[in-house]
A and B are shown apart, each in its own frame.
Chain A
Amino acid sequence: MNINTTKVISLLFFIFSAFYLYTAYQIQVFAFDENAPFNARTFPIYLGYAGLFFSGLKLILPDPNTIKVQHKTLEYKKTLILIVIAIIYGATILKVGYFLTTSLFLFSSYYFLGERRWVLMFLLSFPFVAAFMYLLHGVLDIYLRDPFLQSVGVMG
């Protein structure tokens, strides 16, 4: 059986809108604001109904030209690896520091995407990040937290 993915997304959006609407009704407002023409929950309530309306229409109206995605040709594995690397990068950037984590993130991303020119990979990671850090921190005066460089005495 062929499942129309657009309809599935619309159904998910419909459920999400219902949840949003329920949460909107739960927003606590001040007692004196309860019967005011407009309070903190008014706009979200309208949005919830709008979400139900449009996703509901998409669900019930015909969709003759369904978009078909050729999943076999999609690179799920490499995309997932990149996402995992990005999550690890996000998890370590504050504790380890900008320079080391960013350089390793770039180097490993190049590697997992199939690059094997080691010199170019190195140049476009460690020295590149150092130059970019200098631009942000040194020239544009944008603060960059880096415990690693502080521990080795490079950054004050």
Chain B
Amino acid sequence: MIEGILIGLTTALTLQNILMVMLGCFFGTIIGMLPGLGPMTAIALMIPITYGFDPATGLILMAGVYYGAVFGGSTSSILLNAPGVPGTVATSFDGYPMAQQGKAGKALAIAAWSSFAGGTLSAIYLLFMAPSLSKVSLSFRSPDYFALMILGLTAIAAFSSKGQFLKAMMMVVLGLMLASVGQDSLSDITRFTFNNMNLTDGISFVLVVMATFAMSEALTIILKRNDPTSAAKQVSLTELGSIKINKEERTKMYKTIPRSSVIGFLIGVLPGAGATIASFLAYGMERNIVNDAEKEKFGKGSVNGLSAPETANNAACSGSFVPMLTLGIPGSGTTAVMLGALLGFGVQPGPRLYMTNPEIFWSIIMSMYIGMVILLILNLPLIPYIARILAVPKNYLIPLILFFSITGIYVMSFNNFDIYLMIGIAIVATFMRLYDFPMPPLILAFVLGGLMEENLRRSLLLSNGSWEFLWDRTLTACILLTTIIIVVWHLYKTMFKNNKI
């Protein structure tokens, strides 16, 4: 492991990679701050640029954008009560009331320190957990992988948004259907191309991500710009107050940060869960742990209430790298985008990644520490200036997002058809978003589609067409049982509890 850490440090500490972390964090912070635009959009916009670099640098840049976006999301939550990313919704519960009391600077400082501590602690957990899990996952076989992918897709559908399980499952199926377009990987037989040569190689991953996230988000913002429920409240962005944290507040944070980082990291590791669930759980747990006097302050500007979700959401970001790096199965929509980009580089993440490409594996982990320091530097002294970006008019922002999306596809294919296809998918995605059809399950399914078919093919061929492979091995059976429990529980809620699903 020491050797790996040194390899990681050597790669992460090159001038180019430090610059990439800085750029990624800066860009991510800005995108994360803008309400409606999340880390997936930020990373999607970055993909075409990363293809100009080697895989390690590209991934370091994307990782920087990822935790930068989560970090930056807290700023709009605190100042506007309009979370930039879903993972920072819980931050606004106490951050915004604190800002209303004239302590916006302090709230931002607490958020910055908590994010830094959460991110750093979870990077340490990742350092020790990832190699061990990689060794364990070497014993995984095709049926286990197939079952694990089913579990991941079911879990992301279950957790993607409250009460939308069936909608999310429909999006999972749609994502897998989109992934099946083009040549079959083994026989080269074309499927669903309708004799269109442009579809022979399948639909580009970048195209689907750009269409369903960057482009459709931009269209949704324009579509809803007059919607009174989505209008952000305007507060002064020039007078944020002091950023100093007193001793009593620090003492509270010392207790909150370690426990929230553990819960955030563990939730991040779970497939389908992520920063949003982690932050809500940490917030709920903190409210149950603190004394009655402190409990009364929750929702009115509590230090614990602000520190807990901020620590947890950053810890979850690092945690979500665990399944991607060790199993090759992304645990969240954002890491699914990163996995897709890695596959584009010709790198196959999985249990052998830390042996075949140690520089990628370790440099990502090492770059997280550097990223956290850079984020702290960005978010503390520069926050009064960066916060003014929130005032950027949407009249400029939206065309620029569309421009980056179309450019991303143009430089990859030089093909009009891809641009039309992207616009078409974006229109459908925008319409579906209006009716709460979640997009992350679609992306995860699209990325996993090929791998899933490959593992099912191997499993069925080895078992001579029998589906017994699903319960032949204890591990496969356990994973499958967990999936069945999730599905049955959500269907039960629909039929007997009259809940919306």
Q: Taking beta carbons and an 8 Å cutoff, which residues of A are in contact with B?
A: 5-6, 9-10, 13, 17, 20, 23-24, 27-30, 33, 36-44, 47, 50-51, 54-55, 57-58, 61-65, 67, 69-70, 73-76, 78-79, 82-83, 86-87, 89-91, 93-94, 98, 102, 105-106, 109-110, 113-115, 120, 124, 132, 136, 140-145
In the assembly, what is the distance between CA of A119 and CA of B437, in Å? 40
What are 5 A-B interface contacts by the 8 Å CB criterion? A6-B435, A13-B174, A30-B187, A65-B500, A74-B223
| Chain A contacts for B227, CB-based, 8 A | 70, 73-74
Residues of B167-183 contacting chain A, CB below 8 A: 167, 169-170, 173-174, 176-177, 180
In the assembly, what is the distance between CA of A110 and CA of B396, in Å? 6
| Chain B contacts for A39, CB-based, 8 A | 187
Asked whether A9 and B416 contact (CB < 8 A) given A38-B457, A63-B500, A79-B223, the answer is: no
Interface of B is mostly: helix
B169:A54 contact, CB within 8 angstroms:
yes
B419:A93 contact, CB within 8 angstroms:
yes
B180:A105 contact, CB within 8 angstroms:
no
**Nearest Cβ in chain A — how far from B389, in angstroms?**
15
| Chain A contacts for B411, CB-based, 8 A | 136, 142-144
In the assembly, what is the distance between CA of A35 and CA of B463, in Å? 15
Asked whether A86 and B423 contact (CB < 8 A) given A63-B500, A109-B399, the answer is: yes
B416:A91 contact, CB within 8 angstroms:
yes
Q: Which 5 A-B pairs have the closest CB atoms?
A: A37-B465, A90-B419, A109-B399, A140-B52, A40-B184
B434:A40 contact, CB within 8 angstroms:
no
B222:A113 contact, CB within 8 angstroms:
yes
Asked whether A9 and B432 contact (CB < 8 A) given A51-B170, A93-B419, the answer is: yes
Q: Taking beta carbons and an 8 Å cutoff, which residues of B are in contact with A?
A: 48-49, 51-52, 163, 166-167, 169-170, 173-174, 176-177, 180, 184, 186-187, 189, 191-192, 219, 222-228, 393-396, 398-400, 402-403, 406-407, 410-411, 414, 416, 419-420, 423, 427, 430, 432, 434-437, 452-453, 456-457, 460-461, 463-465, 491, 494-495, 498, 500-501
| Chain B contacts for A83, CB-based, 8 A | 219, 423, 427
Q: Which residue of A lies closest to B189 (CB)?
A: A40
**Nearest Cβ in chain B — how far from A7, in angstroms?**
10
Asked whether A54 and B170 contact (CB < 8 A) given A27-B189, A94-B416, the answer is: yes
Q: Which residue of A lies closest to B227 (CB)?
A: A73
In the assembly, what is the distance between CA of A60 and CA of B285, in Å? 38
Query: A61 touches which one: B223, B432, B501 (CB < 8 A)?
Result: B501
Task: Give 10 new A-B contacts, CB below 8 A, not counting A20-B177, A141-B52.
Answer: A9-B435, A28-B189, A30-B187, A44-B192, A50-B176, A67-B436, A74-B224, A90-B416, A109-B399, A113-B398
| Chain B contacts for A55, CB-based, 8 A | 170
Asked whether A110 and B419 contact (CB < 8 A) given A61-B166, A63-B500, A73-B226, the answer is: no
| Chain B contacts for A145, CB-based, 8 A | 414
**Nearest Cβ in chain B — how far from A146, in angstroms?**
11
Asked whether A47 and B222 contact (CB < 8 A) given A67-B436, A105-B399, A106-B400, the answer is: no
| Chain B contacts for A36, CB-based, 8 A | 461
